[in-house]
């Protein structure tokens, strides 16, 4: 049960990486220097890249948490079998 839950939870960091890539790829090009509404477009670009940075940060942190969960389940399983064999 826990391993299945961790497997489903592992999808979340992957989805956040995909979301960050979408933010970067779908962003508009930076307008020319004298273009109208240049400041608004640049503010929008800054917002998109900030959201992508947050998504990547959350993906790394949640991915590490899922990895720790997998290691915990493995250690718990090995402990129930009588310990781990040193190699």
Does residue 13 form part of some domain? yes
pLDDT tens, position by position, 30-72: 888 888 888 888 899 999 999 999 999 999 999 999 999 989 9
pTM for the model stands at: 0.73
pLDDT band at 8 (very low <50, low <70, confident <90, very high): confident
Residue 47 lies in a domain: yes
For residue 24, being part of any structural domain is answered with yes
Residue 9 forms part of a structural domain: yes
Residue 83 counted as domain residue: no
Q: Quote the CA–CA distance of 46 and 34 in Å, as a whole number.
A: 19
With respect to residue 58, please indicate whether it lies within any of the assigned structural domains: yes
Q: What's the domain range around 61?
A: 2-28+40-77
In a domain, 69, yes or no: yes
Domain count along the chain? 1
Residues 6+ apart with CB under 8 A from 11: none
């Amino acid at each position: 049960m826990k391993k299945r839950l961790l497997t489903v939870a592992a999808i979340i960091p992957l989805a956040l990486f995909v979301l960050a890539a979408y933010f970067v790829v779908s962003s508009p090009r930076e307008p020319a220097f004298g273009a109208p509404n240049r400041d608004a477009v640049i503010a929008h670009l800054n917002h998109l890249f900030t959201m992508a940075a947050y998504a990547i940060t959350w993906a790394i942190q949640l991915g590490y948490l899922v990895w720790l969960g997998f290691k915990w389940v493995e250690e718990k399983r090995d402990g129930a079998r009588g310990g781990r064999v040193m190699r």
